[in-house]
Amino acid sequence: MLVVDVISQMSQAQTSYVLVFHEQELVGILTETDVVRAIGNRTLFENITVAEAMTQPVITISKADAEQISIVMQKFHQHDLCHLPVMDNNELIGVITRSNVLRVLYSMGVHSEIENLSLVDINARNHAKHMLELQAVITRNMAEGICLVRATDGIIVYANPKFETMFGYDIGELTDRHVSIVNYEDEHTTAEDVNQAIRAAVLRHGEATYEVHNVKKDGTPFWCRATTSVFEHPEYGKVLVAVQQDITEHKQAEDKLQKSLKEKEVLLKEIHHRVKNNLGIVSSLLQMQCRRTQEPQVTSILLDSQNRIASIALIHEKLYRSEDLANINFAQYIPDLVTHLFDSYNTSSSLVKLYLQIEDVGLDIESAIPCGLIVNELVSNALKYAFTNNQAGEILVKLYEHEHQLTLIVQDNGVGLPLDFESKRRKTLGINLIEGLVKQLRGSIEINSQQGTQFKINLKKG
């Protein structure tokens, strides 16, 4: 801190010294003498810091020695002091000044007995006076508006200049006015309703922090963030001390941001809708091509491609219909996807029973699309190959989360994998696609073909 700043505070508080503390330890004292000395030693006075100008180390006196005026006078004379801090167990309890000593000696008379006179009480009162004066200066010059409202009748008994200018009033104009004059009212709530709600909350809890819609003298509404506390004032009794800060610009910026986010949300939903529609067009083209071909193998390939596109389109459909544009709820997605696959392969639900055990797991779009494709491939394979000759069976799809890891299980009780599965594994598009997607999601895959077929896939979430 610069000396010029401290001088202004000293002048306003009408004190001739400032004590300097570091981590609650008294490390220096800056007096008017120190200031004069600093001015004489430096040309650029405005750049002098308190640490450079203050007196250190500080000469102090114990509480016991301060009880003896003769010892006090000896300290002043020996060290040529104007101020003498009084310490009790390393704690400051007061400061004796030379003027204190002179006033006491004058009141006693020249021939009075002075050996047992204590100056600590005199200084304590003097120090308290300075502190009150300093607090008054701070209150007047705070960046926040402060007002004191009498709790009994809601009358403003004090408002600092910042409070009054913030509301568009002249200095002193709000004093003796009812506090509801600064509260905004509309067709639903009166100004007195606002005041009573705040008053009740503060008196109930002793303190309340809130945002309040206020109104200026000229009728302009604006927003404030306020903290109000209960205080027992020696003159006014119980008062509510309100500290308010104008947050109108912050609220306007917040509203603008919310509006912008809403616009982006609408735009994003529209994008997902259009992507879903475009994928639907591609799927329709494949379906048309499928109807025109006479080759069963080509028809099967086109149908698989249609289902893969459908699994992606369903992701975008879920997103644009959802309130949450960031995550897909797989507890809703997987049943819809599997139902589509049953319809696509003309599989009767009475012949092949479907069992779903899906937890409420949310995935972002980057994870949802590959995970959806994996479910599509595994369920499609089960429907196509697990149950031959209209054999009845069961398919289980299970998804759960444990310790930031997702586990997906697709299991059937069909004929199992063919004996040459391992040799053909690398040549099969579906299996290659599954393994590539699992790798993309930093996961692992386990295949069990003891009783039917089970694919167990572990994926890292996030």
Q: Is the peptide bond before 57 cis (omega within 30 degrees of 0)?
A: yes
With a cut of 60, say whether residue 392 has pLDDT above it: yes
Q: Decide which of 69 and 65 is more confident.
A: 65
With a cut of 90, say whether residue 219 has pLDDT above it: yes
Q: Which residues contact 89 (CB under 8 A, 6 or more apart)?
A: none
Average pLDDT over residues 303-327: 84
Amino acid (1-letter code) at residue 12: Q
Per-residue pLDDT band at 133 (split at 50, 70, 90): low
With a cut of 70, say whether residue 399 has pLDDT above it: yes
Cα–Cα separations (whole angstroms), residue 350 to 7, 188, 266, 330, 339 = 92, 60, 41, 24, 13
Per DSSP (E only), the strands in 349-417 are 352-358, 362-364, 393-402, 405-412
With a cut of 70, say whether residue 343 has pLDDT above it: yes
pLDDT digits (tens, 9 = 90+) for 101-114: 655 554 444 334 43
pLDDT digits (tens, 9 = 90+) for 135-175: 555 455 556 788 999 999 999 999 988 899 999 999 899 99
With a cut of 70, say whether residue 319 has pLDDT above it: yes
DSSP type of residue 322:
S
With a cut of 60, say whether residue 419 has pLDDT above it: yes
Q: Which has the closest alpha carbon to 230: 146, 177, 151?
A: 151
Helix (H, G, I), strand (E, B) or coil at 350: coil
Average pLDDT over residues 115-143: 51
With a cut of 90, say whether residue 365 has pLDDT above it: no
Per DSSP (E only), the strands in 64-139 are 83-88, 91-97
Q: Which has the closest alpha carbon to 368: 267, 458, 437?
A: 437
Q: Decide which of 15 and 107 is more confident.
A: 15
pLDDT at position 116: 44
pLDDT digits (tens, 9 = 90+) for 30-59: 887 777 676 655 545 557 788 888 888 888
Average pLDDT over residues 310-325: 82
Number of other CB atoms surrounding residue 91 within 10 Å: 10
Average pLDDT over residues 9-14: 68
Phi, psi of 434 (to 5 degrees): -60, -50
Average pLDDT over residues 397-418: 90
Rounded to the nearest integer, the mean pLDDT of the chain is 82
Average the pLDDT over each of 138-147, 157-166, 179-188, 304-313 and give the range with the smallest value. 138-147
Cα–Cα separations (whole angstroms), residue 369 to 310, 315, 323, 429 = 11, 7, 19, 18
pLDDT at position 67: 81
Average pLDDT over residues 305-312: 88
Average the pLDDT over each of 132-141, 406-415, 433-442 and give the range with the smallest value. 132-141
Take residue 206 and report the two structure tokens written for it. 């002793």
pLDDT at position 50: 80
* Residue 212 exposure: Cα atoms within 13 Å on the Cβ side: 28
Percent of the chain whose pLDDT exceeds 70: 85
**Mean pLDDT: which of 74-83, 99-108, 235-244 is highest?**
235-244
Average the pLDDT over each of 38-47, 170-179, 252-261, 322-331 and give the range with the smallest value. 38-47
Crossing angle between the packed helical segments 365-381 and 330-344, to the nearest 10 degrees: 40
Question: Rounded distance, CA 384 to CA 371, Å?
Answer: 20
Longest dimension (CA), the chain: 132
pTM as predicted: 0.48
Count Cβ atoms within 10 A of the Cβ of residue 201 and give its class: 0-12 exposed, 13-18 middle, 19 or more buried. middle
